[in-house]
Structure 1
Amino acid sequence: MEGRDGKEVQKFQKSYFDVLGLCCSSEVSLVENLLKSLDGVKDFSIIVTTKTVIVVHDNLLISQLQIVKALNKARLEANVREYGVKNYQNKWPSPYVVVCGALLLLSFLKYVYRPFGWLAPLGAVAVGIGPIVLRAVAALLNLSIDINMLVVIAVAGSIALKDYWESGTIVFLFTIAKWLESRASHKATASMSLLVNVVPLRVVLADTGEEINVDEVELNTILAVKAGEIIPLDGVVVQGNCDVDEKILTGESFPVSKQKDSIVWASTINLNGYISIKTTAVAQDCVVARMAKLVEEAQNNKSKIQRFIDKIAKYYTPVIVAISSTLALVPVVSKIHNKTEWYRLALIVLVSGCPCALVLSTPIAMLCGLSKAAKLGLLFKGEEYLEALAKIKIMAFDKTGTITRGEFVVTDFKSLLDDVSLNTLLYWVSSIESKSSHPMATALIDFARARLIEAKPDKVEKIENFPGEGIRGEIEGNEIYVGNRKISSRAGCTAVPMLQGDSREGKSVGYIFLGSSPAGIFSLSDVCRTGSKEALNELTLMGIKTVMLTGDSYAAANYAQDQLGGALDVIHAELLPEDKARIIKELQKKGPTAMIGDGVNDAPALATANIGISMGVSGSALATETGHVVLMSNDISRIPKAARISREVLRKVIQNAVIAITTKAAILVLAIAGHPSVLAAVLADVGTCLLVIFNSMLLLAKPRQGKTCKNTNDCSSCTNKPCPNIESQNKCEAQTCSSKKCVPRCRSTDLSSRSCENKKRYNFAENEELLCNLLNEEEVIDHQCCDKVAQHLESQGMHNQSAHLSRGDENKCANSAPITNNYITDGGINKAKRYDHGNHSTTTCKSALKSLGSDDYIIPENHYLKKECCDGQYGCTLTGGLSEIVTE
């Protein structure tokens, strides 16, 4: 449908309403009946914990204000939620509650003037019961029973029994407790609202300097963001560079460097520098806004426990009302003289008929868990997935881009055709790979660009992606296939060329075919993410089995396993997407299984697993859409944290249910035992609700500082200082003591994972800035992070942490060392003779590494001499082409 200006008018609209009168599940049926009676309402969701109603409606038939008006007829205190503002009006008790409490205090003057004993409590009832009666009448008109109706009956019964003070106290305690409950509930649910509320409401246009409202900004608008300001909308940097604090969004504690073409998100903070950004989303569609909505709407996908409790609650209240009515009729039918006690018992049972605390026991804990996970950059798409993660026994990981960084570097590229030059082949391959989102494609494009070869995507035709195999395309009349070994069958080639040595070194080997003829071959290297090893070890400590599922070769998979120190339990390699899904089904026979992945190849496995966790920042759109949980950062150390949160939530749910059921049962037992009190029943009902909320809020409390073991073999002596010495860290990492076991806590720092965002490194010799991949991706060191000190992981040699000695130091090697036959000249890797250390009697580590540009420049394997070279004491590394001695 089109409007007058020719633009399409959106027929259906999703609107959010804050309904402050939505106290507990008993009002849900009231809201349902109201919304069902409205023309134009297509669908709706009611979220009790956040007092939110989400309505999908035809905005041509019914407006937001009309929906608000309908809800407020039932005294539900509804209003339309504006972007970035969650309305909360109950910061203080209402004047009626204050007056009600004052009148109750006045009743104690009955010893001075006796009528105060009944006048003051009745006055308190008259002042405070109005809103309760109105909501009770609205519920009655909609044929539903809620807590308001039960309280009105309890108050009327107490007055009939001449318990005036008790009737006034019931009204006061109920109203003040509901206010406290709303405050506590608001505090429990406010953490996600802060994400949106932190976004500035005014923005500055870069071209004119004019300030406008954030909700007036359209797509592709250029905005100015100064140092110290919060980035208002999602966008792409078009000018300038800066460091950005993304902690609020991804949970990443280290600043991230941004430059031209970098993606930035709303709510993150520009720490330094001036940038101009081009918006890629309007205010309501920013990642941070969608995060908040996703966490809130996730409660619609209820957990199994919640669905079970809802079924109980559905029949609980009618059964209790029937029992209460029966108790009230007993003295009438049996002609018992002590009718008062029976009526009082009936009232107590009736007040116990509202299952508010029991119904709240699950969703409030789930919401706190969802909010806590979101702060760590983990978004659950439903409560059921939070519950399911707590029961996971097996976790399967993709390799490329999940366990490893997915930041490939091309280490070798050869043309196999005499009539096709290397540059021509690179031009074809980079142009075709520009149509792919695979990390290997980026590496090939960068490799071509470094040789001044620009890809031309517009020249490519008939693109076909083969998940788990590669890509096919036509360019300038040539049919090109690029991919792993499996792509050869697509090309119709049976003789697949080989690259000697690369498979043994764990590199990924790729193949290029011109039609059915082998045209080229290349290899790429990748390294494991910082924290991967520790995350896998932590999952093992939690009793979760870890599995690798990769389409890469077994050599590459085993190389990654070596980098991880054998942390994975099982490895499956050379898999197609359907193979991953099949293995997931086999694993599910052994226990609930989760899958963690980031690409199109992982989508079938993510959908098949009990829980699919997709990498939101680096992952493909399909993987993010398919996953049940989205990891906003690339840090898989968040995975064990998510598992721990889910287990904590499940424990809280069980605790809350026990508290709710035990309290109700205790009141009934006391009443039957001869200690009936309607006041105690009301207090127990609202008090239990508060107790359940406060218990759930403990999930949001900040954890206490962990204690770190001085001795890695003994958890009995601990200190609050993490990593007390380098030796204990090098042995097995510093550990955190708990009541049951030691858990890994400290990790060595890999500066290369968080530095050099602008693809530059520091040359200590000439103070020049060189490309990061000039030598090797493992050797990225930022001059801002490293003052002639390199820190590197075990995967990059045998040194967990090392400190440079002076350049003049010479340390003799004791044993033979594995030396490669590669050397570097002008940034290129060429062949040279193997250096013979002999018995190392006089040869030093320093002399084994000659200056850059020498005709016989030798580098150790992976740019590091292994421990064996120097008898476990010394090793050598390169920084900007110069050799330095390092020691543990």
Structure 2
Amino acid sequence: MSKAQGKELDNNKTVYRVQGFTCANCAAKFEDNVKKLPGVKDAKVNFGASKITVVGETSIEELEKAGAFENLKVIPENNRRVEEKVPFWKKRENINVIVSSLLLALSYMFAWTYGEDSLFAIIGFAASILIGGYSLFLKGLKNLVRFQFDMNTLMTVAIIGAAIIGEWSEGAIVVILFAISEALERYSMDKARQSIRSLMDIAPKEALIRRNGQEMMVPVDDIEVGDIMIVKPGQKLAMDGVIVKGTSALNQAAITGESVPVTKTVDDEVFAGTLNEEGLLEVRVTKRVEDTTIAKIIHLVEEAQAERAPSQAFVDRFAKYYTPAIMGAAVLLAIVPPLVTGGDWYEWLYRGLTLLVVGCPCALVISTPLSIVTAIGNAAKNGVLIKGGIHLEQAGDLSVIAFDKTGTLTRGVPEVTDFIVFGGKGEQELTAVAAAIEYGSQHPLASAILRYAENKNIDFVSYQVEDFQSITGKGVKALVNGKLYYIGSSKLFEELENVAVSQEMKQQILALQNEGKTVMVLGTDQEALAFIAVADEVRETSKSVIQKLHEIGIQKTVMLTGDNKGTALAIGKQLGVSEIQAELLPQDKLEFIKLLRDQYGKVAMVGDGVNDAPALAAATVGVAMGGAGTDTALETADIALMADDLSKLPYTIKLSRKALQIIKQNISFALGLKALALIFIVLGLLNLWLAILADMGATVLVTLNSMRLIRVKE
């Protein structure tokens, strides 16, 4: 496909929200039906987020026809119509179960009074079966005609078979227990989706806007970039923007997971969905409603839920062959023993029907997606964006974590710690010279020198700077008030012919580097005049995070930096990392990550998502810092820590490991129970209603086990 064709396909893509999904199988069937609609080129259902993406031309009416088997309702993604909340017991399918259960109870009364074969009892059981299993039979019979074997087909054949051999009461019990099992599955998926729905409700739907000198309440869809939004104390921000007036403490927990409010003032970036706790703020809107950080988070989380994890892909492949295999095994179990050994036809037919019931793959199908949806939703509420089930699983299996130093383990804001002067000139004059030169520099350390001069109220603007020139990888030079000065690494001065860097000076530089400081030398082409030592402050949480990672079983932590070895060793030892790699260029970081993958398998790279993009992409799991503030971090990483907070990393690994553990438990339990039930059926120790009770029990236990992921905290 050409790029032009790909772009055309993208332009013809529409996303709809779907109401009424009951199970993963139904979602897959809806997807197949939509793909067959005229004008539709492709379709993909996101069961976790209850959405469908359609490529091509179709109408909502056609889509709802494709979902008529499940009475699905389809609305455009951007339609803000609120889904009608119907109490659980008032839903039509649940009312049918209640009526069916009452009829079953009445029928048992008739059976005890007149006998189980009495006309009253049979009519009562039959009515209970029809009312409770009406929608099940519609789907099951249609599938049977088309030779599509899913759980509805299995249950339909089993219940009709039970009625044919006269097991009316057991058929009715199977219908009711299956309906209850499906209701529990729907309830559990709805509960798991609540985390996303709660995100959608975070930001207000309208805001107070000042436009053309007038203040008015405006729906968020009509707010334009550049509008001034007025936010009073106690109100939530409706849009992303930059503060133009006022100072206040903002609770950003909804976006970043930070529990402590953050003070924001003029020129600071603020996000939709955050709570203004104190002052009156005026905010210039910088993004449309669909581009806000919260909108991006919701979109990425929903997309993440659609991405299938390896375990889910296994379950999907397995279920595709499993259900027809169960159907075939049931037929063989029903007819082979009577034909070969002369066994009783009724008894073996009953066992075959029991196998159909116990073979229903409900627990297996829901085991993985429910765990993934729950875990990703929990992470999003705690300020961690996991962009897919595959990344969730891989994060739980990491053995090595590599960290970029600047801006990740350290704050990324360097400060001047020492200004050591040689010769006759004073510190104030040399500070002014250094600041005047660095005023034209783009180097990160230049900002530290400028702040140092400003804090000491030194006038450097009046100094005349000419012929500014950068010396790549070494420093800069310029004429200041007509005199040539150099500022850069000690290597730069060692290369100048007329400058002598004494052994004492070298030892002093080494001593400062061993304290974790970067040393710049200021001088002329004749002599070194001063040392300027700069340090990047280590984050308060970095040491405890490294310690926690080792405690939870991470084999190795590695610090990667472009800094000199002395500085890197000092900071690395302070933090307690296992290995330190210094003086690395971006391509060196990339090569080292590849080397770690070859040696250890699963490797994570933690960085700021900008200059670390190649290394983040090469790692098994790329983790970006500060996703709330940078689009690059959201786009390049597999996992984004929304706050600039490394302490979320051990929580993420803990959550991932718990999710992996629960997924494995669910799959093992679902398959193990089926195998055990199969043995009992062959031995004749399991009847129809016990089989469905076992299957329902498996679904309930798998659901409850998955919901434990909601409770995983930092």
TM range (shorter): 0.7 to 0.9
Deviation at 1:194, TM superposition (A): 0.8
Distance 2:486 2:221 in 1: 45
Deviation at 1:214, TM superposition (A): 2.2
Is the counterpart of residue 355 in structure 1 residue 361 in structure 2? yes
1:191 to 189, 195, 198: 195
Match of 1:571 in 2: 580
Deviation at 1:309, TM superposition (A): 2.4
Distance 1:257 1:85 in 2: 35
Distance 2:498 2:689 in 1: 85
Residues 627 and 324 of structure 1: CA distance in aligned 2, closer, same or farther (over 3 Å)? same
The aligned amino acid for 2:74 is N
Distance 1:38 1:310 in 2: 24
Match of 1:33 in 2: 32
**Contact map agreement 2:627 2:633 (CA 8 A) in 1:** no
The aligned amino acid for 1:386 is L
Distance 2:316 2:487 in 1: 52
Query: What CA deviation, in whole Å up to 9, does each residue of 1:142-192 have, x standing for no partner?
Result: 653222222221221111111112222222222222122211221123123
Deviation at 1:270, TM superposition (A): 1.0
Distance 1:598 1:463 in 2: 29
Query: What CA deviation, in whole Å up to 9, does each residue of 1:366-397 have, x standing for no partner?
Result: 22222222222211112112211222111111
Query: What CA deviation, in whole Å up to 9, does each residue of 1:665-708 have, x standing for no partner?
Result: 232222112123222223333332222111111121266xxxxx
The aligned amino acid for 1:609 is A
Match of 1:587 in 2: 596
RMSD over aligned Cα atoms = 4.2
**Contact map agreement 1:19 1:79 (CA 8 A) in 2:** yes
Distance 1:357 1:576 in 2: 50
Query: What CA deviation, in whole Å up to 9, does each residue of 1:234-289 have, x standing for no partner?
Result: 22112111101112221212110011111111222111111122222333332223
Query: What CA deviation, in whole Å up to 9, does each residue of 1:221-242 have, x standing for no partner?
Result: 2211111112222221121111
Match of 2:560 in 1: 549
Distance 2:44 2:490 in 1: 48
**Contact map agreement 2:238 2:273 (CA 8 A) in 1:** yes
Is the counterpart of residue 596 in structure 1 residue 596 in structure 2? no
Percentage of identical aligned residues:
32
1:343 to 349, 361, 379: 349
Deviation at 1:303, TM superposition (A): 2.5
Distance 1:242 1:663 in 2: 57
Deviation at 1:115, TM superposition (A): 3.9
Residues 264 and 442 of structure 1: CA distance in aligned 2, closer, same or farther (over 3 Å)? farther
**Contact map agreement 2:474 2:492 (CA 8 A) in 1:** no
Match of 1:270 in 2: 276
TM-score w.r.t. structure 2 length? Answer: 0.83
SS in 2 for 1:276: strand
Residues 672 and 599 of structure 1: CA distance in aligned 2, closer, same or farther (over 3 Å)? closer
Match of 2:3 in 1: none
Q: Which moved more, 1:153-162 or 1:69-78?
A: 69-78
Residues 172 and 421 of structure 1: CA distance in aligned 2, closer, same or farther (over 3 Å)? same
Match of 1:162 in 2: 166
Match of 2:464 in 1: none
Is the counterpart of residue 224 in structure 1 residue 230 in structure 2? yes
Q: 1:407-426 residue pairs with structure 2 within 5 A?
A: 407-411=413-417, 426=435
Distance 1:482 1:693 in 2: 68
Which structure dedicates a bigger proportion of its chain to helix?
Answer: 2
**Contact map agreement 2:562 2:582 (CA 8 A) in 1:** yes
Match of 1:203 in 2: 207
**Contact map agreement 2:307 2:388 (CA 8 A) in 1:** yes
TM-score w.r.t. structure 1 length? Answer: 0.68
Distance 1:231 1:632 in 2: 18
**Contact map agreement 1:91 1:183 (CA 8 A) in 2:** no
Is the counterpart of residue 323 in structure 1 residue 329 in structure 2? yes
Match of 1:850 in 2: none
1:385 to 379, 387, 391: 391
Query: What CA deviation, in whole Å up to 9, does each residue of 1:76-117 have, x standing for no partner?
Result: 513225567784756324232221122112113213465442
Deviation at 1:613, TM superposition (A): 0.9
Q: 1:835-846 residue pairs with structure 2 within 5 A?
A: none
Distance 2:446 2:695 in 1: 61
SS in 2 for 1:406: strand
Match of 1:862 in 2: none
1:241 to 219, 222, 247: 247
Distance 2:684 2:179 in 1: 28
Residues 273 and 33 of structure 1: CA distance in aligned 2, closer, same or farther (over 3 Å)? same
SS in 2 for 1:272: coil
Distance 1:343 1:692 in 2: 30
SS in 2 for 1:206: strand
1:403 to 405, 409, 418: 409
The aligned amino acid for 1:569 is S
**Contact map agreement 1:244 1:269 (CA 8 A) in 2:** yes
Distance 2:334 2:268 in 1: 72
Deviation at 1:39, TM superposition (A): 4.8
What 5-or-longer segments of structure 2 have no aligned partner?
A: 1-7, 462-467
Match of 2:87 in 1: 91
Q: 1:288-687 residue pairs with structure 2 within 5 A?
A: 288-330=294-336, 333-334=339-340, 336=342, 338-411=344-417, 426=435, 429-433=438-442, 440=445, 443=448, 446=451, 501=509, 502-509=512-519, 523-544=533-554, 545-564=556-575, 567-591=576-600, 592-617=602-627, 621-687=631-697
Q: Which moved more, 1:11-20 or 1:375-384?
A: 11-20
**Contact map agreement 1:41 1:55 (CA 8 A) in 2:** no
Q: State how many pairs are aligned.
A: 675
Distance 1:12 1:471 in 2: 52
The aligned amino acid for 2:388 is G
Match of 1:836 in 2: none
Distance 1:255 1:411 in 2: 30
**Contact map agreement 1:101 1:124 (CA 8 A) in 2:** yes
Distance 1:588 1:179 in 2: 45
Match of 2:134 in 1: 130
Q: 1:812-831 residue pairs with structure 2 within 5 A?
A: none
Is the counterpart of residue 69 in structure 1 residue 45 in structure 2? no
The aligned amino acid for 2:230 is A
Q: Which moved more, 1:371-380 or 1:67-76?
A: 67-76
**Contact map agreement 1:598 1:624 (CA 8 A) in 2:** no
The aligned amino acid for 2:58 is I
SS in 2 for 1:302: coil
Residues 692 and 32 of structure 1: CA distance in aligned 2, closer, same or farther (over 3 Å)? same
Is the counterpart of residue 55 in structure 1 residue 53 in structure 2? yes
Deviation at 1:563, TM superposition (A): 3.6
SS in 2 for 1:273: coil
Distance 1:344 1:472 in 2: 89
Match of 1:173 in 2: 177
Distance 2:702 2:319 in 1: 16
SS in 2 for 1:129: helix
Residues 486 and 310 of structure 1: CA distance in aligned 2, closer, same or farther (over 3 Å)? farther
Distance 1:139 1:454 in 2: 82
Deviation at 1:569, TM superposition (A): 1.4
The aligned amino acid for 2:149 is I
Residues 378 and 83 of structure 1: CA distance in aligned 2, closer, same or farther (over 3 Å)? farther
**Contact map agreement 1:473 1:481 (CA 8 A) in 2:** yes
Using CA pairs below 8 Å that are at least 6 residues apart, which structure has the higher relative contact order? Answer: 2
SS in 1 for 2:237: coil
Distance 1:619 1:464 in 2: 31
**Contact map agreement 1:206 1:276 (CA 8 A) in 2:** no
Deviation at 1:487, TM superposition (A): 11
